[in-house]
Structure 1
Amino acid sequence: MNAQLTGRRALVTGASSGLGAAIATALAAEGAEVVVHGRDPARTESVAGAIRAAGGGAVAAVGDLATDAGADAVAGAALAAGPIDILVNNAGSYPHRSWRDATADDWREAYEVNVISGVRMIQRVVPGMRERGWGRVIQIGGGLALQPGAELPHYSATLAARHNLAVSLARELKGTGVTSNTVSPGAILVDGVRRFITGLAPGRGWGETWPEIERHAIEELAPNDVGRMGRPEEIAAAVLYLSGPLAGYVTGTTLRVDGGTVRGLH
């Protein structure tokens, strides 16, 4: 893919592992200089180092985006070497809670980590994009924003907030050359998901080989038309498209990469 990103600088939050690391790696492979954000210094620098070892440009920015001080530190590190052209708000968490055990504090923390953290980075990075007349802001959302289940109510609600704020931001940025969109993944096979599903497999009779386990897990947990989980690289490809000049006519929209899990909604 030629995403035409050479010379651009991108900040990917929550990029010290999993989906964020895949996005940062893909952006760097397309020529962007990437700021890899994480809360753990060693893990964050490991991803940045791997990108550099592969010939890409990357620096690490460490901080807790759930606090103003942490967001200031990350923004300062990200902007130290130049402006940010692409902001990918990926950082977040999904603690397993239900309506039965999710407290008000659990809800408050979920919004702080999954929603307000992204707002903090928008407030610190997007004004510069507006001044320069070019920029890309991408939220990583999810299908639970549109079709939530009974479980994870606090997490699903934060995803809906991410989708909503992306559209509102697009309206705010009308005519500026800065776009705002959401990439909405389905069930994605990151390391943590694979460990979780592999742990469930024996008790549910899903088989012993990974192809068997994945097929049964999808059928029972997240049915889709493709019949498998998505790979981080497939989400990263959607981010690449929205990050480049070919997506200049795309704003205020949601790009679903979910194998057809979400149906009948836009």
Structure 2
Amino acid sequence: MQTRTELDRTLGFAILEQHARGRLVRLGPVLDEILSAHAYPPVIERLLAEALALTALLGSTLKNETGQMTLQAQTEGGPISLLVCDYKDSELRGYVQFDAERLAQMPADPTLFALFGKGYLAITFDQALTGERYQGIVPLEGTSLAEAAQSYFAQSEQIPSLVRLAHRHDADGRVIAGGMLLQHLPEGEEGRDRLHTRLDHPEWQHVEALGRTIKDAELTDPDLPMETLVWRLFHDEREVRVLGGATLTRGCRCNREHILGVLSRFPAEEQANMADAEGLIRVDCAFCSISHPIRLTELQAAA
């Protein structure tokens, strides 16, 4: 079987003369591994696939590998109560909490508002090396997750941006997701002035118009090199630099060592209250849908 190297990776690029930057992502086996941990209905599967693609686009912009980016949509009124994805050291994970009965009463292709009701989109960047933490929160608005992300950049970052997200099933029925983030360069990058609300840059309208020509089929084609896709979009520009990217994997931090470390911080009395009649503390991971039984005797021995 052919190895598809264009899956589970990101690619950055810069259009210097037009003062723009971009990033592409395409997910395959990593996405399949994350989705297979839960029996999600198709509409939730599609939503999480695009949310993970968006998380990879944003997370791969982190300046250092020890940082973490978290995307969270928390809502009221819709069948989905929580969507969480995060990115750390090129590792992705994510899950969705939802009311199955309410979801079953909806049409096959419900709107974003129907799924979430009133809610917000929160995007958090934690820089581990410096200890800095930045969070932007905006209303969850628009007809798609891509539009909600664009609203985040417009309101929270004040950076003109175009976000495109897409998904499809391959011949084996597995989900492939792709995405593109295109932005006007903010202060300090390639000599640009500070933007804030200065959106009167004609070069951005030019780049945005080109970006909007990208097709969903191109974003999700596992045999189309991302470098070729960048060339298709911007080959008439004087200089386009490919900035490299990251190889993505599925990652979850619910290993026994981590869990033991967290539980060991609790006093012995609280540990005993967490345990069942058999002396087990059962820690369930919502991300990977695995239960980790930890014996009280194991905690006592590690103390």
Comparing both structures, which one devotes a greater share of its residues to strand?
2
Q: TM-score, normalised by structure 2?
A: 0.26
More helix, by proportion = 1
Larger Cα-atom Rg: 2
TM-score under structure 1 length normalisation: 0.28
Q: RCO higher in 1 or 2 (8 Å CA, sep ≥ 6)?
A: 2
